[in-house]
């Protein structure tokens, strides 16, 4: 976390808001490890006397969530994971832990998004004979296909909600944002993103199949590090002021959260009046992420949206206020089906046709 970003973003305490108080400003409590302009380890502290919650900064990433104990229950292994092991030893540990382990799930996920976001950079360290990988950099293909929906290039502060390993945030900065803030709850993902920002290298395990992974460690050129920030936050309770952002990416995240409408409402709160959001989703609902009752149109095929999530989004965000729910956002322009492919192994991929849209803050 750069000090100039902290001053510009003026974060507010989500624990205060969860307790029903006005969210108080966070102060920099201590910096335990500083490298150049970055506070790599330190703590942000809530300035409200009744709260004084500490929000740690680890590996350069501020962790600013309302309930750090429940966040830790899921994220502690990722937070504590050492990343100095050779690919050789990492693969020994992966084999020992086995396919049901959290470690395997984390590596598989990092490979899926690492490859989608950074796979267009040359791959190094491949084992001989690995089948030709496909869909490297598919995220960029998706972003470029959706980009014309925006009627103006990004300016000022933009937020990339559910940024994963960070490509969208880098693209926002490359394409004009004065500051691009990537937020995600997953610490392992953010660590990959933050490494790209601070060292210009994308490093992630890429699954061939079974328990077999190769390590990708590739140079990423042209990273405007001084205009990029990654924060570990819940998309439904972001630690920033109302109207703090001039635009948002909401790509493939609405079907990954427990309360999609709360996520949209939070995006509406954060955006300045007139600001645009680039939205996309495959509506690949699962109960691991979202209870069935919250699936937008994805349950209830006899309802008004006839089981179509895209139709339900249109209904919810209708510019006709009487028809829509007032989340502060309206839907302005759409693409019905944009291809988005995620590689899961050398011989396997998931193929999506995502619904994309430009949303506008009223």
Ligand X SMILES: C[S@@+](CC[C@H](N)C(=O)[O-])C[C@H]1O[C@@H](n2cnc3c(N)ncnc32)[C@H](O)[C@@H]1O
Binding site for ligand X (CB under 6 A): 113, 116, 139, 162, 164, 168, 183-186, 189, 234-236, 251-253, 256-257
Question: How many CA atoms within 13 Å lie on the side-chain side of 354?
Answer: 25
| Cβ partners under 8 Å of residue 316, min gap 6 | 261, 264, 296, 324, 325, 327
Alpha-carbon distance values, 175 to 87, 138, 158, 179, 252 (Å): 34, 18, 11, 11, 20
Q: Other C-beta atoms within 10 Å of 166: how many?
A: 31
* Contacted by 196, from Zn ion, ligand X, none: CB < 5 to 8 Å by type: none
What is the closest distance, in whole angstroms, from the C-beta atom of residue 37 to ligand X in the complex? 25
**Matching residue, tokens 């050129």:** 221
What is the closest distance, in whole angstroms, from the C-beta atom of residue 106 to ligand X in the complex? 11
* Contacted by 248, from ligand X, Zn ion, none: CB < 5 to 8 Å by type: none
* Contacted by 223, from Zn ion, ligand X, none: CB < 5 to 8 Å by type: none
What is the closest distance, in whole angstroms, from the C-beta atom of residue 191 to ligand X in the complex? 12
259 binds Zn ion (CB under 5 A): no
What is the closest distance, in whole angstroms, from the C-beta atom of residue 32 to ligand X in the complex? 26
Please list every residue from 9 through 38 that binds Zn ion, using CB under 5 A.
13, 15-16
Of the pair 39, 256, the CB lying nearest ligand X is at 256
Of the pair 51, 97, the CB lying nearest Zn ion is at 51
Of the pair 46, 192, the CB lying nearest ligand X is at 192
* Contacted by 329, from ligand X, Zn ion, none: CB < 5 to 8 Å by type: none
What is the closest distance, in whole angstroms, from the C-beta atom of residue 14 to Zn ion in the complex? 8
CA distance 208 to 347: 8
Q: 101-108, long-range: CB within 8 Å, 24+ apart, which pairs?
A: 102/77, 103/77, 104/211, 106/77, 106/78, 106/81, 106/188, 107/205, 107/207, 107/213, 108/207, 108/344
Which positions from 42 to 71 touch Zn ion by CB under 5 A, shown as an x/- string?
Answer: ----x-x--x-x------------------
* Contacted by 51, from Zn ion, ligand X, none: CB < 5 to 8 Å by type: Zn ion
* Contacted by 236, from ligand X, Zn ion, none: CB < 5 to 8 Å by type: ligand X
Burial class (CB in 10 A: 0-12, 13-18, 19+), 150: middle
Q: What dihedral angle (degrees, nearest 10) is formed by the CA atoms of 311, 168, 182, 195?
A: 150
**Matching residue, tokens 């926002």:** 172
Of the pair 57, 327, the CB lying nearest Zn ion is at 57
Of the pair 94, 239, the CB lying nearest ligand X is at 239
Contact 183, 238 (CB under 8 A): yes
Of the pair 13, 143, the CB lying nearest Zn ion is at 13
CA distance 140 to 308: 26
What is the closest distance, in whole angstroms, from the C-beta atom of residue 21 to Zn ion in the complex? 7
**Matching residue, tokens 């944009």:** 338
Pick from 188, 195, 199, 216: nearest CA to 121: 216
What is the closest distance, in whole angstroms, from the C-beta atom of residue 49 to Zn ion in the complex? 10
Instruction: Name the percent of the chain in helix, strand, coil, to the closest 5.
Output: 30, 30, 40
* Contacted by 253, from Zn ion, ligand X, none: CB < 5 to 8 Å by type: ligand X
Of the pair 62, 162, the CB lying nearest Zn ion is at 62
Of the pair 42, 239, the CB lying nearest ligand X is at 239
Burial class (CB in 10 A: 0-12, 13-18, 19+), 69: exposed
* Contacted by 13, from ligand X, Zn ion, none: CB < 5 to 8 Å by type: Zn ion
What is the closest distance, in whole angstroms, from the C-beta atom of residue 288 to ligand X in the complex? 11
CA distance 176 to 118: 20
Residues near Zn ion (CB under 5 A): 13, 15-16, 46, 48, 51, 53
């Amino acid at each position: 976390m750069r000090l100039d970003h902290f001053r510009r973003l003026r974060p507010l305490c989500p624990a205060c808001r969860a307790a029903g108080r006005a969210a108080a400003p966070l102060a920099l409590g201590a910096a335990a490890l500083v490298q150049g302009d970055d506070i790599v380890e330190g703590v942000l502290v809530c300035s409200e006397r009744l709260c004084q919650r500490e929000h740690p900064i680890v590996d350069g990433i501020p962790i600013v969530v309302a309930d750090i104990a429940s966040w830790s229950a899921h994220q502690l292994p990722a937070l504590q994971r050492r990343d100095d092991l050779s690919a050789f030893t990492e693969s020994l540990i992966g084999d020992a832990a086995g396919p049901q382990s959290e470690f395997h799930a984390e590596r598989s996920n990092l490979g899926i998004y690492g490859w989608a976001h950074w796979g267009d950079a040359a791959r190094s360290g491949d084992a001989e004979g690995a089948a030709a990988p496909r869909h490297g950099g598919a995220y960029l293909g998706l972003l470029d296909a959706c980009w014309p929906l925006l009627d103006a290039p990004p300016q000022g502060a933009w937020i990339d909600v559910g940024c994963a390993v960070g490509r969208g945030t880098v693209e926002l900065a490359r394409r004009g944002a004065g500051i691009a803030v990537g937020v995600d709850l997953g610490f392992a993902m953010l660590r990959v993103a933050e490494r790209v920002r601070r060292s210009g290298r994308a490093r992630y395990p890429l699954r061939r199949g079974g328990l077999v992974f190769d390590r990708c460690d590739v140079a990423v050129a042209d990273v405007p590090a001084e205009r990029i920030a990654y924060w570990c936050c819940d998309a439904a309770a972001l630690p920033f002021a109302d109207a703090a952002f001039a635009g948002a990416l909401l790509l493939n995240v609405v079907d990954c959260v427990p309360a999609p409408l709360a996520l949209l409402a939070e995006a509406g709160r954060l955006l300045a009046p007139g600001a645009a959001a680039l939205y996309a989703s495959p509506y690949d609902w699962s109960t691991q992420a979202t209870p069935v009752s919250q699936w937008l149109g994805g349950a209830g095929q006899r309802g008004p949206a006839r089981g179509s999530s895209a139709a339900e989004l249109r209904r919810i965000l209708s510019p006709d206020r009487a028809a829509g729910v007032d989340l502060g956002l309206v839907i302005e322009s759409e693409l019905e089906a944009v291809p988005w492919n995620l590689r899961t192994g050398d011989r396997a991929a998931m193929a999506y046709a995502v619904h994309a849209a430009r949303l506008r803050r009223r």
